[in-house]
């Protein structure tokens, strides 16, 4: 009877889980079809999600069909609806709308995350986002269509709700994008509304002077300690009663793990991520591994854990897939470890800031930082070109180094 390693999700963690599992099976000589590596996702496409704040987000994809064929990964088109860990099965809806059931012997949960939208009046109706490809594309169309409207304070004002990593990247990208759409003479106004008392609250104090300088150079305003209370077609109102007129509002305030994680009886963190051990296994469900935005894993022995970024999703995905295959083969899993940490924040035409370590000590800024960011976004995070490159890169001992 054929056994199956099933990966849910074709994001960074899912892709690399599948490649690492296929690599392990080949190394161990499992070529008789006794174990299948299968990946289920709505599309055989990797969305380059870290680039969705850029213009033309529809182009931020990489096809995975040929790579799956070359590496022996079976692609199943569908969306998982139910996970039944007690029977080792998942229910999914295929491309034709049929509800089908698929069994597994090891499961890798790599279903990613989605933007968190709290119950704020008008948020779902009027706010844009750059979280998913279709959402970023809708924003791109909207920004281009602004040129058809007469100049006004409303047309020329964009509010970014959330001054974290994503909020800063889209905010600093917007002046250049809007000048191309509206002309260099347009009176463009970009404002960040952040409920915390500091810009980039999760980034710490290390890169903050560089961020502040970039925002000043780009003419970007920000309101700190301001929570969004109401959003309308004409602007937003903060919790302290300030009304800001704007024709474009972009919501970036946080993400949550895919809701499928709640179907697994296991401990989760405040973001809905499954808590996994050093092998990336869910302790209460030993046949299930998890990686990427669906999991929170220890990265070292100092108490640090994975963050929701491709920097952790790619190596953790490799380890999860490799360990799932090793476990099914009766081999000892290799603990995941990623003690080195780098932050690379795009700051639009002001360059970028790159930091090293959890304390985020500045490494590169300005044009040098921008070169690093472009290398990461344009090359490093893209999938390999062929089977040989894929299996070489899928080795979990090969770090994602900068």
Q: Where are the domains of the chain?
A: 3-115+255-339, 123-251
d(CA 398, CA 400): 7
CA distances, 33 to each of 7, 54, 72, 109, 384 (Å) = 17, 42, 10, 23, 24
d(CA 338, CA 359): 15
d(CA 197, CA 204): 12
> What is the number of other CB atoms lying within 10 angstroms of the CB of residue 221?
15
**Which CATH number applies to 123-251?**
3.50.50.60
- The pLDDT value given to residue 282: 98
For residue 298, the cross-strand partners are 305
Residue given tokens 């161990």 in the structure block: 28
- The pLDDT value given to residue 32: 66
d(CA 293, CA 114): 9
Cβ-contact 306, 312 below 8 angstroms: yes
Name the phi and psi angles at 374, rounded to 5: -65, -35
> What is the number of other CB atoms lying within 10 angstroms of the CB of residue 100?
12
Residues of the chain with pLDDT under 70: 30-32, 399-402
Q: What is the pLDDT of residues 172-192, one digit of tens each?
A: 999 999 999 999 999 999 999
- Please give the model's pTM, rounded to 2 decimal places: 0.96
Does 3-115+255-339 match 123-251 in CATH topology? yes
Residue given tokens 């704040």 in the structure block: 53
Ramachandran area for residue 188 (φ above 0: left; ψ -120 to 50: alpha; else beta): beta
DSSP string across 293-325: GGEE-B-SSSS-B--SSHHHHHHHHHHHHHHHH
* Rounded percentage of the chain residues whose pLDDT exceeds 90: 96
| CATH H-level superfamily of 3-115+255-339 | FAD/NAD(P)-binding domain (3.50.50.60)
- The pLDDT value given to residue 33: 73
- The pLDDT value given to residue 398: 76
């Amino acid at each position: 009877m054929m056994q199956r390693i099933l990966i849910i999700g074709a994001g960074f963690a899912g892709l690399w889980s599948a490649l690492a599992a296929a690599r392990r099976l080949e190394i161990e000589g499992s070529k008789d079809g006794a174990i299948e590596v299968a990946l289920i996702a709505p599309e055989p496409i990797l969305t380059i999600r870290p680039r969705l704040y850029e213009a033309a987000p529809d182009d931020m994809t990489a096809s995975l069909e040929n790579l799956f064929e070359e590496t022996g990964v079976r692609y199943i088109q569908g969306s998982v609806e139910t996970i039944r860990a007690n029977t080792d099965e998942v229910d999914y809806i295929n491309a034709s709308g049929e509800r089908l059931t698929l069994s597994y012997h090891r499961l890798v949960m790599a279903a990613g995350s989605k933007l968190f939208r709290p119950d704020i009046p008008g948020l779902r109706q009027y706010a844009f986002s750059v979280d998913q490809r279709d959402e970023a594309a809708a924003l791109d169309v909207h920004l281009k269509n602004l040129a058809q409207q007469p100049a006004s304070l409303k047309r020329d004002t964009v509010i970014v709700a959330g001054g974290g990593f994503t909020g800063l990247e889209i905010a600093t990208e917007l002046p250049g994008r809007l000048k191309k759409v509206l002309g260099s003479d347009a009176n463009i106004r970009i404002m960040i509304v952040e409920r915390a008392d500091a810009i980039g609250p999760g980034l710490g104090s290390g890169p903050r002077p560089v961020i502040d300088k970039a925002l000043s150079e780009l003419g970007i305003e920000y309101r700190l300690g301001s929570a969004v209370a109401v959003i309308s077609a004409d602007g937003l109102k903060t919790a302290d009663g300030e009304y800001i007129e704007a024709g474009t509002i972009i919501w970036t305030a946080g993400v949550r793990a895919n809701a499928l994680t709640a179907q697994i009886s296991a401990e989760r963190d405040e973001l809905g991520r499954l808590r996994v051990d050093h092998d990336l296994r869910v302790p209460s469900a030993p046949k299930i591994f998890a990686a990427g935005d669906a999991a929170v894993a220890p990265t070292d022995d100092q108490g640090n854990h994975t963050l929701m970024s491709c920097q952790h999703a790619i190596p953790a995905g490799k380890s999860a897939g490799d360990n799932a295959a090793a476990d099914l083969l009766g081999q000892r899993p290799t603990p995941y470890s990623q003690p080195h940490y780098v932050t690379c924040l795009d700051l639009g035409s002001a360059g970028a800031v790159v930091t090293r370590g959890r304390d985020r000590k500045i490494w590169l800024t300005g044009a040098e930082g921008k070169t690093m960011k472009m290398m990461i976004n344009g090359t490093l995070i893209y999938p390999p070109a062929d089977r040989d490159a894929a299996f070489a890169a899928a080795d979990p001992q090969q770090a994602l180094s900068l």
